[in-house]
Amino acid sequence: MKIAVITGSSSGMGRDFAIKIDKEYTLDEIWLIARREERLKELGKELKTKARILSYDLSSPSSIEEYKDLLNETKPEVEILVNAAGFGVFGAFEKSGEKQSDIVVLNDKALVDVTYTTLPYLQSGSSIVNLGSNSSWQPVPYIAVYGASKAFVLSFSRALSMELKPRGIRVLCVCPGWIKTEFFDRAVHDDTIVYYDRFYESKDVVERAMKDLKKGRLVSILGFPVRMQVRLVKFLPVKLIMKIWCRQQKKPC
């Protein structure tokens, strides 16, 4: 049985990846993973491929064990794994620190756990897509833990791509700029972040990511301005980059 596994598929990027993969891949099932079961069922009705609805909270070890048991029971061939589950909290760390560790658990630990658990079922030609961020490239004050969590995803994805190359498994890290999705409903609680240079559509980010995956690229970035910003960040001192960011957000620096 050939399948795709997509975490965070109840909304945003995960949902759009499911729709795109449904169109481009010939599969027996698409496994949709997220907490909101009703949302997953609604998405499943839109797909031509049979959807297996897995209402898991990936921050819970019991959900990882359930997923592991299901893989062991069905023994599928995973054509593509998309790790899109994640969230962020915008604000000063000292005022929201109690929420920040949850970001690390879902954005990093769960991603690692799902990837490790799925790896035995990937074959030559299979792919892993991890959702990073434009924040992956630099320290981001007032989004400190979220940015650091995405820096982990980028570093992990690049290293893993080299380790899995002999097996013929591709790994892509998608690092988009600002995307207007439900992410903001959860992340933005005040006016901590006031400057957004531009927004991109989730489906356009996914479209670019799937093209970059076929080309064998390690990182996918939609938008010339975002790519230029990434290049600039590589050459400027980190302290200066953080000062520029804080000035944009009207924060002391």
The length of the chain, given as a count of residues:
253
Whole-angstrom distance, CA of residue 6 vs CA of residue 81: 6
pTM listed for this prediction: 0.91
Whole-angstrom distance, CA of residue 176 vs CA of residue 146: 14
Q: Once rounded to an integer, what is the mean pLDDT over residues 73-93?
A: 94
Please report the pLDDT score of residue 195 as a whole number: 46
pLDDT tier for residue 159 given thresholds of 50, 70 and 90: very high
| 25, two tokens | 């891949």
Q: Hey, what's the torsion of the CAs at 178, 131, 165, 213, to 10 degrees?
A: -60
The dihedral of CA 208, 214, 216, 218: what is its sign?
positive
Please report the pLDDT score of residue 231 as a whole number: 87
How far, in whole angstroms, is CA 101 from its chain's centroid? 17
CB distance 81 to 127 below 8 Å: yes
CB distance 58 to 106 below 8 Å: yes
CB distance 33 to 58 below 8 Å: yes
**Mean per-residue pLDDT over the chain, rounded:** 91
Active site includes 25? no
The per-residue pLDDT for range 89-139, each reduced to its tens digit, is 888 888 876 788 999 999 999 999 999 999 999 999 999 999 999 999 999
Q: Once rounded to an integer, what is the mean pLDDT over residues 55-67?
A: 97
Out of 56, 142, 146, 200, the active site residue is 146
pLDDT tier for residue 176 given thresholds of 50, 70 and 90: very high
Those residues with Cβ within 8 angstroms of residue 38's Cβ, 6 or more apart along the chain or in another chain: none
With a cut of 90, say whether residue 228 has pLDDT above it. Answer: no
With a cut of 60, say whether residue 182 has pLDDT above it. Answer: no
The residue ranges of DSSP E strands in 64-118, in sequence order, are 77-83
